[in-house]
Amino acid sequence: MAEASSSEELVLAFLAEAGDEFVSGEAISGKLGLTRAAVWKHVDALRAQGYRIDAVPARGYRLAEVPDRLTALELRPLLNTHDLGRELHCHEELGSTNDRAKELAEAGAEHGTIVVAETQTAGRGRRGRAWVSPPRRNLYFSAILRPDLSPARASELTLVASIAICEAIRQAGVEAGIKWPNDLLASGRKLAGILTELAAEPDRVHWVVIGVGVNVNARAEDFPEELRAEATSLAIERRTPAPRALFAAACFTALEDWIDRHAEEGFGVIREAWRERSVTLGREVTVRTDGREIVGIAEDIDATGALLVRGRAGVERILSGDVALLRPR
């Protein structure tokens, strides 16, 4: 599914504005400059996308129920970003939103383009690991950025995105924290992940794709059995489902805000914001990196975003690896 036609969006907006009231086909067609047949066609198309629209002779139409769907129709009116999502590609199914975003980026898609999918058949996490992507329950999106950065600094964007998504999750009422480098945890369990990929020359990035997966309304049974003890969702934590389109829009806004702060103020503010939201720092951790295992206290992240772990041999600087938190706080 590509972009929604704008008159479809207008019909929907008109119905939404009327709230519980019926509006006549004449009123809609007069106001929007559409034929009655066109109005009917749009109502029909909206119904096919899960909108429940009552139609009563002599009274007209009424929007009775809005589906919890991540379509351009639902997302676009909720956007209040300047760049992110201005170009919006919503799909019912994709292999992976990052793969699609990378194709679009390679073909020249502009800064801020966002790809959303209701399900991923080959969702990926860091280092090619699978990301469980049940349909129509969660949020899977990728944003194409064209920052003025060297590839050496791309890891900063993973931290930027972690902070932003952490913030959106907290706004949704769940006390999330960041586990270095790219996981968001709640109650010690995985709630969301970030996958950053890039294309570059050695001295400058061509594009960065930031992939975000958040378990929004997944139920325990949506996770494979071996992950159930480790995974959670907003709905599980809140004990009530979350409206996904609103949450997605909040993620886009937070992501753009933090990308702007990073571009304007540099990594210093990001490092500080990351520290505040970290569940890694101050904890005893085991880090698996390059076939080695380092046990120690995660003390800080440095000016490049690397994790500093004080082990027996002194402080080690970890550029990449898997962190296990040893003791619950």
Where do contacts with a second copy occur on this chain (CB under 8 A)? 126-127, 150-152, 154-155, 157-158, 181, 195-204, 206, 319-320
Q: How far is the CB of 202 from a second copy (least distance, A)?
A: 4
Parallel, antiparallel, or unpaired: how do β-strands 114-117 and 88-91 relate? parallel
Segment holding 192, helix H or strand E: strand 189-201
Residue 96: CA count within 13 A, CB half-sphere: 21
> What is the DSSP-derived secondary structure letter of residue 319?
S
Residue 240 — φ and ψ, nearest 5°?
-155, 145
CB 216 within 8 A of CB 233: yes
Q: What's the min distance (Å) between Cβ of 177 and a second copy?
A: 21
Shortest distance in whole angstroms from residue 206 CB to a second copy: 8
Say how far apart CA 61 and CA 45 lie, in whole Å.
14
Nearer to a second copy, 96 or 217 (CB): 96
Among 320, 103, 325, 97, smallest CA distance to 213 is for 97
Please report how close the Cβ of residue 90 comes to a second copy at its closest, in angstroms: 24
Asked whether 168 and 247 are in contact (CB, 8 A), the reply is yes
C-beta of 39 vs 161, nearer to a second copy: 161
Nearer to a second copy, 33 or 291 (CB): 291
Of 24 and 150, the one with the shorter C-beta distance to a second copy is: 150
State the residue for tokens 């996981």: 183
Q: How far is the CB of 308 from a second copy (least distance, A)?
A: 15
Q: How far is the CB of 157 from a second copy (least distance, A)?
A: 7
Q: Are strands 183-186 and 292-301 parallel, antiparallel or unpaired?
A: unpaired
Distance CA 151, CA 46 (A): 44
> 64 vs 152, which CB is nearer to a second copy?
152
Whole-number Å distance between alpha carbons of 174 and 151: 33
Instruction: Note the residue count of the chain.
Output: 329
Strands 189-201 and 307-311, bridge-based pairing: unpaired
Shortest Cβ 149–a second copy spacing (Å):
11
Q: Which is nearer to a second copy, 201 or 225 (CB)?
A: 201
Alpha helices in the chain, H assignment, sequence order: 6-18, 25-32, 36-48, 72-75, 97-106, 155-171, 234-238, 244-265, 267-277
Of 75 and 157, the one with the shorter C-beta distance to a second copy is 157
Nearer to a second copy by Cβ, of 57 and 202: the residue is: 202
Minimum CB–partner distance for residue 316 and a second copy (Å): 15
